[in-house]
Structure 1
Amino acid sequence: MTMSFGRFDLNLLRVFNAVMEERSVLRASQRICVSPTAVSHALARLRELLGDELFIRTSTGMQPTARSLAMAPLIREAWKSLEAAIDPPRFEPYKSNKRFTIAVSDFVTMVMVPDLLAQLRRDAPLVDLVIRPDSWIDLAEQMDLGQIDAAVGVFSEVPARFGSSSLFAYDDVLIASSSRRFGKLSLETFSHLSIAVVSLHGQHEGVVNGFVAERGLMRRSEMFDRAAFERTFTGSKRSPRVALSLPHFLALPSLLEGTDLTAIVPRPLAKLLVRSHPLSLYELPYQTGLEKVSILWPAWNAGKAPQDWLRAILIRAAEPLSANLFDFVRPARYASPTSQQEVAASA
């Protein structure tokens, strides 16, 4: 069928966009304030005009066809451009009751979100925050569909359709129960340890060299520098035993307290855990790389006042971590262990 765009009803695209994001006729109707019947009729008209089913009704909701997935980013960007042209962006954080959704790991949640919440309480007390775990979702797809406003993590490849900005960097350290005393940790001592590590995606088939690939986006899955670890002990008669691999950091303190298990973790998290648990921090007896944590967002969100404000407040929340970037660059690389009391005294 030949279609004249000049006679095309733009409201059909509004319905398409709502169904694509909600994956439900009912929720889409509530979102755009029309009846479910009107949404169904609009979808039927679109199917006729475009010659495609567009959405398939399943037990889990309205699933988009390949044609819909290809159209969605273009239609969303066009629709938001129309909205911006008609209604110039205004955003007053202190009065806003907007809800933002961000995707982060539990590591970022623990070291960065407390400062973020403090800023929200001060600058935008009515703004709500939804935190999604970044480990078991298709992060690229969720941002493409507008379900996530921003993500914070370690990314090695970022497609052009996403914007990014560096927040802070970290290296790896070892933590262990304070009941254990290693002194200056040597390679020999380290090689006899049982170690816990965190791998966000476990044995996910998409994990390559510590990163998981999704729709052109590469994000870190293994939360320690495995390459440096393996390089250090290549050819050695003995190497540490990786006795436990976890999908998150939350359980580590209880697993380490009073046991012979140790853990390799990001330095900012180690400093936090040592303050609140009977744990000690040790410099690793080998050099690990610096991992750069960045904020990621859909490029089509750039220039939109609420989204720009969200990114700015995320950057401010990371400033304490960025300020401590060079805390670990010391003349004596392998310093003495840091205990709970020592960290508290230096905080």
Structure 2
Amino acid sequence: MDDLRRIDLNLLLTLHALLAERHVSRAALRLHRSQPAVSHALAQLRSLFDDPLLVRRDGGLALTSQALELQRPLEDALDQLQGLMHAPAFDPGRARRTFRVALSDYGSRVALPALTRRLREHAPHVDLAATQASREAMLTQLLDGEIDLALGVFHEVPAELETKTLFEESFVCVADRATLPARGGLTMAQWLARPHVLVAMRPGADNEIDRALAELGHTRRVAVTLPHWSIAPELLAGTDLVLSVARRAVAHLQQDRQLRQLRHFAAPFPIPPFRFQAVWHARREVDPAHRWLREQIVAVCSDIG
């Protein structure tokens, strides 16, 4: 008991964040504390355990053997304390806060309108700060605590992040109907002979369509590369361009009078579907507010699906 009197809960929470993040600045973000305060707490912890806990190695911080041994019992102890403290449920109708969400352009089109309507209806004082970035940048922002949630297509996710598949998406081709046969789409030879529009954050970026083509030993000519889905269909009208795109990204074309001259058709080769996912840091897993937001996104994407 004498040893326990020397420790306060804040020190244990700081130790937990430092062991999980292995980075003083990220631990400070996680704890909503200043970096000097966390550095001071680390000095106290080193004195308390008579061990450096975190040491410089290969340009970063690594855990000492004693720190590694502390991780599991510390996690168990904090979980038990959490069980004793019944956190109040999140009340969306009364809450005032801002969620920081990163989405691709595709994610913004398919999910953001319905999510915004849902928030306005159920959480009128909750604000949404939406940003756009590459897949790699979104994951880095999650790790650094700069955003709360990312929505997009992620092939490899770091172990510190949690994921949930919201729906599976397939591809469709779109072109000006005047350049297509009266029925059906294009043969493989016709498709390869046409110039194409590619939607990517940067030219030459890896994408599902060109990977599928490469497996068949083919390449296509990309005449226009765009960073946004939204403008891509407008480039097709009156041209011979072909756009291969996620089906939900162009679901609105039949409702747009100016774009009714465009027609969907199946690609002449198989393009594997992809999973649209939500990704968040494990430190947000039990946060009632973040859990509520994830539930709203799941509900919205279920309706979309």
TM-score normalised by structure 1 residue count: 0.63
Q: For residues 18-59 of structure 1, what are the alpha-carbon distances to aligned partners after superposition, in whole Å with 9 as ceiling and x for unaligned?
A: 9825989xxx9xx66x9x9978977887899987999xxxxx
Q: For residues 119-152 of structure 1, what are the alpha-carbon distances to aligned partners after superposition, in whole Å with 9 as ceiling and x for unaligned?
A: 1111111111111213175333322333322222
Tell me: CA distance 1:176–1:315, structure 2 relative to 1, closer, same or farther (3 Å): same
Equivalent residue number for residue 20 of structure 1: 25
Q: Partner amino acid for 1:290?
A: P
| 1:7 CA displacement | 3.7
| 1:162 CA displacement | 2.6
Tell me: CA distance 1:275–1:231, structure 2 relative to 1, closer, same or farther (3 Å): farther
Matches within 5 A, 1:160-171: 160-171=159-170
Tell me: CA distance 1:114–1:78, structure 2 relative to 1, closer, same or farther (3 Å): farther
Equivalent residue number for residue 321 of structure 1: 304
Structure 2: give runs of 5+ residues left out of the alignment.
19-23
Equivalent residue number for residue 152 of structure 1: 151
8 Å contact 1:135–1:201 — kept in the other structure?
no
Tell me: CA distance 1:227–1:65, structure 2 relative to 1, closer, same or farther (3 Å): closer
Equivalent residue number for residue 227 of structure 2: 247
> Which has more helix, going by share of residues?
2
| 1:194 CA displacement | 0.8
8 Å contact 1:102–1:151 — kept in the other structure?
yes
Matches within 5 A, 1:64-79: 66=61
1:275 aligns with 2:255: yes
Q: Secondary structure at the match of 1:167?
A: strand
Equivalent residue number for residue 228 of structure 1: 212
Q: How many residues align?
A: 279
Matches within 5 A, 1:251-330: 251-276=231-256, 277-278=258-259, 279-283=261-265, 284-322=267-305
Matches within 5 A, 1:180-195: 180-183=179-182, 184-187=184-187, 188-195=189-196
Distance in 2 between residues matched to 1:256 and 1:47, nearest whole Å: 64
Structure 1: give runs of 5+ residues left out of the alignment.
55-63, 205-209, 211-221, 323-347
Distance in 1 between residues matched to 2:220 and 2:181, nearest whole Å: 15
Q: Secondary structure at the match of 1:318?
A: helix
Tell me: CA distance 1:164–1:196, structure 2 relative to 1, closer, same or farther (3 Å): same
Q: Secondary structure at the match of 2:173?
A: strand
Q: For residues 100-134 of structure 1, what are the alpha-carbon distances to aligned partners after superposition, in whole Å with 9 as ceiling and x for unaligned?
A: 12221000101111111111111111111111213
